Amino acid sequence: MSYQDEEEQVGSFPKDFGYGDFEHESDGNRASDDKPRILLMGLRRSGKSSIQKVVFHKMSPNETLFLESTNKIVKDDINNNSFVQFQIWDFPGQIDFFDPTFDSDMIFGGCGALVFVIDAQDDYVEALTKLNQTVTKAYKVNPRIKFEVFIHKVDGVSDDFKMESQRDIHSRATDDLADAGLEGVHLNFHLTSIYDHSIFEAFSKVVQKLIPQLAALENLLNLFIHNSGIEKAFLFDVVSKIYIATDATPVDMQSYELCCDMIDVVIDLSCIYGSRDNPDVPAFDNQSSSIIKMNNSTVLYLREVNKFLALVCIIREESFSRQGVIDYNFLCFREAITQVFELRFKHQKLEAIEQDSEDTMEDLRDFGRPDVMSSMKRFQD
């Protein structure tokens, strides 16, 4: 049973405003199997399940203290919009890669990213050994995997401790891979905690690497902010609060947190006031928008792209006097996003047709093999 099934409302979201049901067993759906996978791995009690619950199921960080340890692979299907579509597989910490029943080709073959979680407040010598084994095994099966290391549970520690832990873990992990002859493998390191926005920001960077259209989205955002006088813009998946694209200017953590908080405020107000007259009409749709004026001459401006995507902009107050231009440019941006959606759908259909054609040709080639033709001749005789 999923956390969403146990509560009528999860954080700011009503029960029906979220991702699909929490999967414990594979349903054998081909569409799900074709999605890129994100594997969550690490030692026991490192915080893997807590990350998954907080980011994708809106569980309060304090409630994760009562989660039981994962004792089997738990699969979670994330399927809210045309860009954020993938599966998350949460692995138990005691998994043995050298067990004959462990199917490495099946596990790592369709994997898009592997997230290894290390508890920064624990002795991480054993975790680094496990990381080396995991990366070595996965890379041999699928060299295209993106490897991400979450140095987790850094809340409540000093900045010096964070930097020293990251430096030490980075140095040891890189040296271990070099000793194993894997100098070409690149590891990305992130300092994370479920008690602040760092986990959302880190997962944003992981998910972006699974989006083939990321470059097109970034170019559209660059054009949008350049022609609208905008300081910074994020394209958010509003359910998880991870940003699937942003413009080329550097990401400031404080600005990202402000945008996340704005999404929470808009959803809260929409759920309270937006659907009293007609509960069947969603309060949060592609007509939703919000303006928040800060006390530092900055304006936060939110516009809905569709039910699950929102564009959040940070604008100087003097630039916002040209709101008409910004709104017109946003409509152009939203139309371009729609075209990217359509191109993705067409590409997926073409891939499916090509795959079916290849399967048919393979059957025909088998039919034309000498042994098959000989059998056919005997049948005719």
Residue 118 and residue 16: Cα distance in Å, rounded? 33
Residue 137 and residue 104: Cα distance in Å, rounded? 8
State residue 262's pLDDT score.
93
Question: Phi and psi (nearest 5°) for 42?
Answer: 155, 175
Question: Where do the structural domains in the chain lie, given as residue ranges?
Answer: 37-210, 213-341
Residue 290 and residue 298: Cα distance in Å, rounded? 14
State residue 269's pLDDT score.
83
CATH of domain 213-341: 3.30.450.190
Pair type for strands 242-246 and 232-237: antiparallel
**pTM of the model as a whole:** 0.79
Residue 330 and residue 332: Cα distance in Å, rounded? 5
Sequence length of the chain is 381
State residue 96's pLDDT score.
78
CATH of domain 37-210: 3.40.50.300
The pLDDT profile of the chain, 381 residues, written as one tens digit per residue, is 333 333 333 344 444 444 443 333 334 444 555 678 899 999 988 999 999 999 988 889 999 888 888 888 888 888 765 567 788 999 988 877 767 778 888 889 889 999 999 999 999 999 999 999 999 999 999 999 999 999 999 998 899 999 999 999 999 999 999 998 988 899 999 999 999 999 999 999 999 998 888 899 999 999 999 999 999 999 998 888 899 999 999 999 999 999 999 998 888 888 777 666 665 555 666 678 899 999 999 999 999 988 788 999 999 999 999 999 999 999 999 999 888 878 877 776 776 677 666 656 665 555 455 544 444 444 344
Report the Cα 141 to chain-centroid distance in Å: 22
Residue with tokens 């959803």: 267
